[in-house]
Copies of this chain bind each other. A is one copy, B any other.
């Protein structure tokens, strides 16, 4: 009657069963009661907590950050400002990665454009686009790109 099996919990939270077991293993989810036959049984509490966890993960928070955020939900005496600080730190990371990717977009689309311009008649030994990538020239990367892409994802 009451209680979901792992498959039901997975479906409700758009998670996979192995992921749920993994979260249990790393202590992110509690170890649930077992029914006869050793199968896990979950309740609505678990649905809520896992929904929360998955949503945080979708937002790109690390497991460790999620761990902290989840503990804040429990402890109402801290909560909001601390959560905001974590979210703000994460926001800074997201924005940094965003800048990186935008620079990357410029570089790679420039590379593609160069290829198209120089090799119109198909492949040939005159192609220089690739060679330019192995030149240790002064900071300039792909022709037309002046952004430093930094370290990519």
Residues of A within 8 A of B (CB): 12, 47-49, 51-52, 55-60, 69, 72-73, 76-84, 87-88, 90-91, 94-95, 97-98, 101-102, 104-105, 107-109, 111-112, 115-116, 118-119, 122-125, 127, 129-131, 133-136, 141, 149-153
Q: Do A84 and B115 form a contact, CB below 8 Å, given A58-B151, A141-B55?
A: yes
> CA–CA, A43 to B119, complex, Å?
31
What is the CA–CA distance of A51 and B132 in the complex, to the nearest angstrom? 10
Nearest CB of B to A50, in Å: 9
B72 contacts A87, C-beta separation under 8 Å = no
Report if A80-B123 is in contact (Cβ < 8 Å); known contacts: A91-B112, A101-B98, A108-B90: yes
CB distance from A99 to the nearest CB of B (A): 10
A38 to chain B, nearest CB (A): 28
List residues of chain B with CB within 8 A of the CB of A80. Answer: 115, 118-119, 123-124, 127, 129-130
Pick from B47, B88, B104, B115: contact of A94, CB below 8 A. Answer: B104
Known interface pairs A80-B123, A130-B69, A135-B51; A59-B97 also in contact (CB < 8 Å): no
